Amino acid sequence: MTSRITITRTSAGQPQRDRTKQRSGWLAASGLILLSLIPVIAGMFRLTQLTGGAITADNARFFDSPIPVIAHIIGATVYCLLGAFQFVPALRRRRSWHRIAGLVLIPAGFVAAFSGLWMAAFYSFPGGDSALLMVIRLAFGSAMVACLVLGITSIRRRDFVAHGAWMTRAYALGIAAGTQALVFAVWILAVGPVDSLTDALLMGAAWVINAGVAEFVILRRARLARASGAAR
């Protein structure tokens, strides 16, 4: 009589892959925080102006209606900085951390998005900002709101994969101000000053870049999940 013995083994390289994944997660979070610091510092400077700075043609609209810009700065700061840590696998696997962070992030994201939409629609921007730029701001701001709503809907259905995908898209759109600063810096160094049309196109390009990166992250996450499932 012949007996058949089945042996289940864990890949010897698994601990190393786990450590690599953890390091890449912390590196991603660090990069997102650095990118966020660009608009965060600008926002803090704006708040300083509102609390004691002089009124100029560039900032008069904020003094006339300060609540939307204050809400936007606070909401976007919390959303961008705290949201970066959601990309760290070790933290994301801690359900208590992920849940508590989400309860802060989702309202902060809505505050940032809705206040941004309000400013795009009702603030009169100096320098002759084009109607195209307003449309772009309204389009991507609305897309961020839609992603947040779909993220909430997904988690209510217990669809964790879809929830992660929609929240990744929302975060990518919410952090676009940092990418915009980099895009403008590269353009000015390489080409020179921008006009109103180039200004609108570069702003839109930064949102598109972030949306593209988000889709890459979502697809890569799905491939890794399939590979992990196949290895078991």
- Residue 42, pLDDT > 60, answer yes
Q: Give, for 186, the enclosing helix (H) or strand (E).
A: helix 176-190
DSSP-derived secondary structure for 110-122: HHHHHHHHHHHHH
In this predicted structure, what is the pLDDT of residue 229?
A: 65
- Residue 4, pLDDT > 70, answer no
pLDDT tens column, 216-229 = 999 998 888 777 66
| CB distance 52 to 66 below 8 Å | no
Answer yes or no: is 90 within a domain.
Answer: yes
- Residue 17, pLDDT > 90, answer no
Answer yes or no: is 3 within a domain.
Answer: no
Answer yes or no: is 10 within a domain.
Answer: no
189 vs 124: CA distance, rounded Å = 28
Answer yes or no: is 200 within a domain.
Answer: yes
Answer yes or no: is 6 within a domain.
Answer: no
* Tally of structural domains, the chain: 1
Enclosing domain of residue 52: 17-231
174 vs 78: CA distance, rounded Å = 11
Confidence at 8, pLDDT banded by 50, 70, 90: very low
Question: How many CB atoms sit inside 10 A of residue 154's CB?
Answer: 18
- Residue 200, pLDDT > 70, answer yes
Answer yes or no: is 221 within a domain.
Answer: yes
Dihedral class, residue 3 (left if φ above 0, else alpha if ψ from -120 to 50, else beta): beta
pLDDT tens column, 45-59 = 888 888 877 677 667
| CB distance 178 to 39 below 8 Å | yes
* All residues at 6 or more sequence positions from 20 whose CB lies less than 8 Å from its CB, including other chains: none
71 vs 59: CA distance, rounded Å = 16
Answer yes or no: is 2 within a domain.
Answer: no
- Residue 130, pLDDT > 90, answer no
pTM: 0.85
| CB distance 13 to 156 below 8 Å | no
Which pair of tokens denotes residue 211? 């949306």
Answer yes or no: is 1 within a domain.
Answer: no
